[in-house]
């Protein structure tokens, strides 16, 4: 790099790009300058005064978080003056801090504790009365303990700048300063809990986690959030086989530390008392709890009997399970009657893109693209992480954001161009043409209102702009994309190859078919939307809860949740990530294991039924999935290669329908999340 600045930190020669803040330059050189209020990516504060360092020729100590490096700068971060300043700043901080570490949630992972341990004084000189204010509850999940607060304003910034919500502010002044919700005594926000996560001390605590455990008593399992399609990495805190916390403080996944309300709190469905733990078998019209072997026998007997079968997969099961399910359907049941609830027209997009220069976008593109067009989707509600990426892109790179939607969305606030539509968005998109044309590149995110011909029109529109364009087709759930890639489609097999023989029935067709003999539903709840026309159909359901579909079933097999299995999922951008088992529920089995057991009962060899083995097969056989295994195994996200070539789809895209979930819902799972339901009752659920 040409624009490098040479400086000296602690007698070490350091080089950093011009404009780098001193605190970052030191970090690059492996020198820690402690700070509370400085937070990468957020506005500068210089409020905590922990990062004061000695700079030669400066009359006093300078805050390293706001001073850019300059040529020839001589900096000392451990000189006696600096050490004393840090020590006294911490002494000041502790004067009104309650030091209730033994009962504080943050104890053990508290930045104030760490700082005092490393830089603080050994004894306290403070003998006055401490300021105390009572703890406040702002929402079902957010508690604020004022005395613990060190006023670093990270929460205020992450809410305002990061989330684009601005639900937090500061009231009073001086030592009486407090963080407070903008709506007085309660929060009207996304309830994402980012404020709790970012709090360096125990001032903001989570209603779901508080007083449950000490941090060091938990096991930390990095897996993928099972709710929306963004595929955020979440590190589950597990204690005594119970998930007590979800966060991603180590910023290990594609989402960094971002999590929305679902990722952070809605893991509690996993421990819901209504979780199925014993197989159910319909005996004389009544559901009876039976053993696994008896239930499987009943299933195997019906599968052997043959007849017209239909298989409905899920957008929440792992890639391995989806792959094995379609393999079972096509090679054992010899049917293409396999489908799942589709929420985005990836199929048409892939076909429309074949032979074009435009490509698929990634989560990184949302942060780096010079311009972003959101067509027909409420990102902040349905794709919270992608929305966060775009907000950060606007904040850090001044990206041009364009919105073409049916109604008002949060992105309006940062948009360069806003157009409303009552139809399929193309009219609105078209009205933005001139502005979009002037951008150097574009990333288009489109929702389920753009499908079939709409997708082709959108791609044609992108081509006509004369700039590089990338597309992300938005889908609903954690493995909506993977389910399609794995071939849970009546007309397309794994990797979007045309199926052998005639295409099968789609989900609505299966539900409407009066002559269906067997319906196998894995992790889905089609009866919530459709009526099952065939009265004679023997229905096998694998699920975690007694859903509408499970109530109609003849056999219900208790399934493990995504947090209880290993495997992989593919997010909305086609990034493959690994699920890691965090807990177990007695009695439930993974869908993979259940499929394997049914196969064994039928005496069919599906190969080794184990997540790693099936993934190895996926890597070999599914187009685009030959991804580097080490990336996934180490908890990273591996981008699948785009499908290059025509996609011979025959099923009407009109069947595609998003569930239109909000930030607080994702179908069945969130209905069983106690915390999410409590939060829903809080006002301002759909805050924009």
Partner 1 sequence: MKLYNPPSPLETRVVSRRFGTENSWRLDTYLATGGFEAFKKATGMTSDQIIDELKASSLRGRGGAGFPTGMKWSFVPKNVEGPKYIVVNADESEPGTCKDRLLMEHDPYQLIEGILIAAKTVGATKGWIYIRGEYRYLVDHLDNVLKEAYQRGYLGKNIAGTGFDFDLYTQIGAGAYECGEESALLESLEGKRGVPRIRPPFPAVSGAFQAPTVLNNVETFSAVPEIIRNGGKWFADLGTPKNGGTRLVCLAGHVKKPGVYEVPLGMNMMYFINEIGGGMRGGKKMKALIPGGSSCPLLRADECDIPMDYDSMAKAGTMLGSGGMMVMDEDTDMVKVALRIMRFYKHESCGWCIPCREGTTWLQKMLARIVDGNGASRDVDLIGDLAKNMLGRTFCPLGDAAAMPTISIVEKFRPEFEAYVAKNPFASSELVQVA
10 Å CB burial of residue 239 (0-12, 13-18, 19+) is: middle
Give the residue, chosen from 5, 93, 141, 469, that forms a contact with partner 1 under the rule CB under 8 A: 93
Cα torsion 299, 301, 304, 310: sign = negative
Q: For partner 1, which stretch binds (CB under 8 A), given 49-57, 507-515, 630-638, 659-667?
A: 49-57
Give the residue, chosen from 31, 46, 99, 680, that forms a contact with partner 1 under the rule CB under 8 A: 46
Give the residue, chosen from 24, 25, 39, 96, that forms a contact with partner 1 under the rule CB under 8 A: 96
Contact track, partner 1, 128-167, x by CB under 8 A:
xx-x------------------xx----------------
Nearer to partner 1, 177 or 252 (CB): 177
Question: Does residue 57 bind partner 1 (CB under 8 A)?
Answer: no
Nearer to partner 1, 66 or 546 (CB): 66
Contact track, partner 1, 550-579, x by CB under 8 A:
------------------------------
How far, in Å, are 97, 167, 191, 284 from residue 159 at the CA level?
24, 6, 10, 56
Question: Does residue 630 bind partner 1 (CB under 8 A)?
Answer: no
Give the residue, chosen from 83, 126, 288, 440, that forms a contact with partner 1 under the rule CB under 8 A: 126
Nearer to partner 1, 63 or 555 (CB): 63
Nearer to partner 1, 103 or 176 (CB): 176
Both tokens of residue 243?
A: 């998930």
Helix, strand or coil, per DSSP, at residue 68: strand
Residue identified by tokens 């502005």 is 435
For the chain, how many residues are written? 688
Q: How far is the CB of 187 from partner 1 (least distance, A)?
A: 19
Q: For partner 1, which stretch binds (CB under 8 A), given 86-94, 360-368, 518-526, 543-551?
A: 86-94
Q: If you count DSSP H runs as helices and E runs as strands, how many of each does the chain have, helices first?
A: 23, 29
- Nearest by Cα to 584 from 568, 562, 606, 612: 562
For 667: left if phi > 0, alpha if psi spans -120 to 50, otherwise beta; the answer is left
Q: For partner 1, which stretch binds (CB under 8 A), given 47-55, 200-208, 217-225, 322-330?
A: 47-55
Q: How distant is the alpha carbon of residue 12 from its chain centre?
A: 41
CB-based contacts of 435: which residues, under 8 Å, 6+ apart? 400, 402, 416, 417
CB-based contacts of 667: which residues, under 8 Å, 6+ apart? 477, 525, 659, 661
Nearer to partner 1, 57 or 173 (CB): 173
Q: Following DSSP, what letter does each residue of 558-617 receive, concatenated?
A: EB--GGG--EEEE-TTSEEEEE------TT-B-HHHHHHHHHHHHT---S--SHHHHHHH
Both tokens of residue 366?
A: 């949302």
Q: For partner 1, which stretch binds (CB under 8 A), given 56-64, 109-117, 233-241, 306-314?
A: 56-64
Question: Does residue 52 bind partner 1 (CB under 8 A)?
Answer: yes
Contact track, partner 1, 446-485, x by CB under 8 A:
----------------------------------------
> In the sheet that 233-239 helps form, which strands lie side by side, from edge to edge?
219-224, 233-239, 242-247
The span from the CA of 419 to the CA of 431, in Å, is: 7
Q: For partner 1, which stretch binds (CB under 8 A), given 91-99, 190-198, 385-393, 441-449?
A: 91-99
Nearer to partner 1, 131 or 283 (CB): 131
Q: How far is the CB of 124 from partner 1 (least distance, A)?
A: 10
Nearer to partner 1, 46 or 655 (CB): 46
CB atoms within 10 A of CB 176: 10
Question: Does residue 79 bind partner 1 (CB under 8 A)?
Answer: no
Q: How far is the CB of 175 from partner 1 (least distance, A)?
A: 4
- Nearest by Cα to 520 from 552, 483, 491: 552
Q: Using DSSP bridges, classify how beta strands 400-405 and 417-420 pair: parallel, antiparallel or unpaired.
A: parallel
Nearer to partner 1, 48 or 544 (CB): 48
Give the residue, chosen from 1, 2, 80, 127, that forms a contact with partner 1 under the rule CB under 8 A: 127
Residue identified by tokens 């709409």 is 454
Q: How far is the CB of 557 from partner 1 (least distance, A)?
A: 58
Question: Does residue 118 bind partner 1 (CB under 8 A)?
Answer: no
The span from the CA of 149 to the CA of 261, in Å, is: 23
Nearer to partner 1, 126 or 331 (CB): 126
Q: What are the start-end ranges of the H helices in 214-327?
A: 261-265, 292-305, 319-327
Q: How far is the CB of 36 from partner 1 (least distance, A)?
A: 8
Phi, psi of 452 (to 5 degrees): 55, -125
Nearer to partner 1, 89 or 315 (CB): 89
Give the residue, chosen from 17, 27, 31, 47, that forms a contact with partner 1 under the rule CB under 8 A: 47
Q: How far is the CB of 348 from partner 1 (least distance, A)?
A: 46
**C-alpha distance across the termini of the chain, in Å:** 42
Nearer to partner 1, 30 or 174 (CB): 174
Both tokens of residue 251?
A: 């910023």
The span from the CA of 504 to the CA of 493, in Å, is: 11
Q: For partner 1, which stretch binds (CB under 8 A), given 57-65, 457-465, 478-486, 615-623?
A: 57-65
The span from the CA of 665 to the CA of 227, in Å, is: 9
Nearer to partner 1, 179 or 372 (CB): 179
Residue identified by tokens 């509850």 is 137
Residue numbers 172-201 binding partner 1 by CB under 8 A: 172-177
Q: How far is the CB of 188 from partner 1 (least distance, A)?
A: 20
Query: What residues line the site for partner 1 (CB under 8 A)?
Result: 44-50, 52, 60-61, 63, 66, 84-85, 88-89, 91-93, 95-96, 125-129, 131, 150-151, 169-170, 172-177
């Amino acid at each position: 790099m040409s624009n490098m600045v040479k400086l000296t930190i602690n007698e070490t020669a350091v080089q950093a790009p011009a404009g780098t803040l001193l605190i970052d330059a030191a970090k690059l050189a492996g020198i820690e300058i402690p700070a509370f209020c400085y937070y990468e990516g957020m506005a500068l504060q210089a409020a905590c005064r922990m990062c004061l360092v000695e700079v030669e020729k400066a009359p006093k100590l300078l805050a390293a978080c706001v001073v850019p490096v300059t040529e020839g700068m001589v900096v000392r971060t451990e000189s006696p003056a600096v050490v004393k300043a840090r020590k006294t700043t911490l002494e000041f901080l502790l004067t009104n801090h309650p030091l209730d570490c033994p009962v504080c949630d943050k104890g053990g992972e508290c930045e104030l504790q760490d700082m005092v341990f490393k830089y603080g004084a050994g004894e306290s000189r403070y003998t006055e009365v401490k300021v105390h204010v009572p703890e406040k509850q702002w929402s079902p999940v957010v508690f604020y303990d004022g005395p613990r607060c060190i006023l670093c304003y990270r929460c205020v910034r992450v809410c305002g700048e990061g989330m684009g919500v601005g639900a937090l502010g500061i009231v009073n002044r001086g030592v009486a300063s407090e963080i407070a919700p903008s709506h007085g005594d309660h929060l009207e926000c996304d309830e994402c809990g980012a404020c709790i996560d970012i709090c360096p001390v125990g001032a903001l605590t989570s209603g779901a986690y508080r007083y449950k455990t000490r941090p060091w008593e938990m096991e930390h399992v990095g897996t993928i959030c099972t709710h929306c399609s963004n595929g955020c990495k979440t590190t589950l805190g597990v204690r005594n086989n119970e998930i007590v916390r979800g966060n991603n403080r180590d910023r290990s996944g594609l989402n960094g530390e971002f999590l929305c309300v679902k990722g952070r709190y809605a893991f509690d469905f996993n421990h819901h008392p209504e979780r199925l733990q014993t197989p159910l078998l319909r005996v004389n019209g009544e559901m009876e709890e039976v053993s696994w072997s008896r239930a499987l026998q009943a299933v195997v007997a019906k599968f052997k009997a043959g007849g017209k079968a239909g298989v409905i997969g899920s957008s929440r099961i792992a890639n391995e399970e989806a792959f094995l399910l379609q393999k079972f359907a096509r090679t054992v049941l010899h049917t293409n009657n396999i489908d799942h609830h589709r929420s985005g027209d990836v199929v048409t997009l892939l076909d429309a893109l074949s032979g074009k220069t435009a490509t698929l976008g990634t989560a990184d593109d949302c942060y780096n693209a010079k311009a972003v067009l959101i067509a027909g989707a409420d990102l902040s509600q349905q794709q919270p992480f992608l929305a966060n990426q775009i907000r950060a892109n606007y904040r850090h790179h001044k990206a041009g954001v364009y919105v073409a939607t049916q109604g008002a969305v949060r992105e309006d606030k940062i948009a360069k161009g806003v157009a409303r539509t009552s139809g399929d968005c193309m009219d609105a998109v078209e009205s933005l043409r001139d502005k979009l044309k002037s951008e150097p590149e574009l990333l288009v995110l489109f929702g389920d209102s753009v499908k079939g011909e709409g997708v082709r029109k959108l791609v044609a529109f992108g081509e006509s702009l004369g700039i590089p364009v990338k597309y992300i087709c938005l889908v609903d759930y954690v493995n909506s994309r993977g389910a399609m890639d794995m071939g849970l489609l009546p007309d397309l097999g794994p990797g979007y190859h045309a199926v052998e023989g005639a295409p099968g029935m789609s989900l609505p067709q299966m539900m409407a078919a009066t002559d269906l003999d067997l319906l196998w539903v894995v992790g889905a709840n089609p009866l919530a939307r459709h009526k099952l026309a065939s009265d004679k159909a023997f229905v096998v359901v694998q699920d975690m809860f007694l859903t509408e579909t499970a109530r109609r079933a003849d056999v219900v097999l208790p399934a493990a949740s995504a947090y209880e299995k290993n495997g992989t999922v593919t997010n909305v951008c086609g990034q493959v990530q690994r699920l890691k088992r965090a807990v177990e529920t007695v009695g439930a089995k993974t869908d993979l294991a259940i499929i394997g057991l049914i196969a064994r009962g039928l005496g069919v060899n599906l190969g080794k039924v184990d997540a790693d083995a099936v993934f190895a097969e996926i890597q070999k056989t599914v187009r685009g999935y030959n991804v580097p295994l080490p990336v996934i195994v180490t908890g990273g996200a591996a981008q699948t290669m785009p499908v290059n070539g025509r996609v011979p789809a025959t099923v009407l895209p009109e069947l595609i329908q998003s569930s239109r979930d909000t930030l607080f819902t994702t179908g069945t799972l969130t209905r069983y999340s106690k915390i999410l339901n409590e939060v829903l009752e809080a006002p301002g659920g759909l805050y924009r």
